[in-house]
């Protein structure tokens, strides 16, 4: 529920602000107290909440599947084992349907991308004020921070730094395998000789260069845009709880309805990111003549 000490616009800005660590103007390092300070910290600033949640969810993912793998039974499998096998079969089917080459790395990569992004997106279904209020309590009572300067965005995929980081990681793999499979000459030839042949090298390079660069940008912005919009709607619905009993009742209905619909978005965005990664790697493995 929106805090009574904040206006609606302040409440929205507070929930959209990351907990940022970086260098202040005086040369000291510390947490930003507002959005202006965070922006002034520049490129080397770190969004502590996004990084922390990303690493935490990645650790939980590894812990869960490692614990399942250590308890695999040949007889009657446990519910966790059934779930793990179902997910693995789903990923393998997706890879077989979209990847025509041979690379043992693709399936584990797709597995990691899908589940990691799904868990990040899933954080959007937590009550909007739950984790920020816990962070505010810990920050003010344990570390003596100003409670109004304690920010915490719980959904890592609403941070473009996270989505672009993952997209650039995929892009680096695409470039690596493009050069490995086709050679440097083949890769350059693909960028300069298609689709119009050797007499239109500038036009070919422009078109193919835009097509190449658009891959990581589209991956990052699609995930970020959808999750950011979903988070914004949850924030707007939360504001309704402070506008009286009638609006609170309507907000409760809208919150449940949007949460149910958002489950589809959460899953779909993770699936799209995974599928496009597989397709881009498949294209990188194909040789054009």
Active site residue 214: no
CA dihedral 65, 67, 70, 71 (to 10 degrees): -100
Q: What does the alpha-carbon distance between residue 116 and residue 163 come to, in Å, rounded to a whole number?
A: 12
**What does the radius of gyration of the chain's CA atoms come to, in whole angstroms?**
23
Q: What does the alpha-carbon distance between residue 133 and residue 128 come to, in Å, rounded to a whole number?
A: 9
Active site residue 218: yes
Catalytic residue among 102, 226, 242, 249: 226
Q: What is the DSSP letter of 33?
A: S
Catalytic residue among 103, 140, 222, 242: 222
Catalytic residue among 211, 218, 242, 249: 218
Q: What does the alpha-carbon distance between residue 96 and residue 93 come to, in Å, rounded to a whole number?
A: 5
Sheet with 29-31, side-by-side order of all strands:
29-31, 20-23, 46-47
For residues 24 and 30, the answer to whether their CB atoms sit within 8 Å is yes
Q: Which residues contact 157 (CB under 8 A, 6 or more apart)?
A: 117, 120, 121, 163, 223, 224, 227, 269
For residues 107 and 91, the answer to whether their CB atoms sit within 8 Å is yes
Q: Which residues contact 60 (CB under 8 A, 6 or more apart)?
A: 119
For residues 240 and 250, the answer to whether their CB atoms sit within 8 Å is yes
> Which residues carry out catalysis?
218, 222, 226
């Amino acid at each position: 529920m929106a805090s009574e000490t904040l206006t609606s616009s302040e409440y929205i800005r507070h929930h959209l602000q990351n907990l940022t660590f970086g260098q202040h103007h005086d040369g000291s390092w510390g947490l930003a107290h507002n959005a202006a300070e965070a922006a002034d910290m520049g490129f080397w600033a770190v969004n502590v909440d996004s990084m922390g949640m990303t690493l935490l969810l990645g650790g939980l993912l590894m812990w869960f599947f490692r614990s399942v793998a250590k308890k695999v039974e040949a007889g009657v499998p446990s519910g966790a084992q059934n779930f793990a096998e179902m997910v693995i079969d789903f990923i393998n089917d997706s890879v077989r349907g979209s990847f025509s080459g041979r690379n043992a790395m693709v399936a584990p990569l797709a597995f990691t991308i899908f589940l990691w992004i799904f868990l990040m997106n899933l954080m959007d279904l937590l009550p909007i004020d739950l984790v920020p209020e816990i962070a505010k309590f810990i920050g003010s009572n344990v570390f003596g921070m100003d409670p109004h300067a304690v920010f915490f965005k719980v959904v890592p995929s609403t941070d473009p730094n996270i989505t672009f980081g993952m997209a650039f990681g995929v892009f680096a793999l695409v470039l690596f395998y493009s050069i490995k499979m086709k050679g440097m000459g083949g890769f350059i030839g693909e960028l300069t000789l298609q689709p119009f042949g050797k007499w239109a090298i500038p036009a070919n390079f422009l078109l193919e260069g835009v097509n190449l660069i658009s891959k990581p940008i589209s991956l990052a912005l699609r995930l970020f845009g959808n999750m950011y919009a979903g988070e914004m709607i949850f924030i707007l619905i939360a504001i309704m709880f402070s506008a009286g009993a009638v609006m609170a009742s309507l907000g409760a209905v809208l919150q449940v309805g949007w949460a149910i619909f958002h489950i589809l978005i959460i899953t779909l965005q993770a699936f799209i990111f995974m599928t496009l990664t597989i397709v881009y790697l498949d294209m990188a493995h194909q040789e054009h003549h």
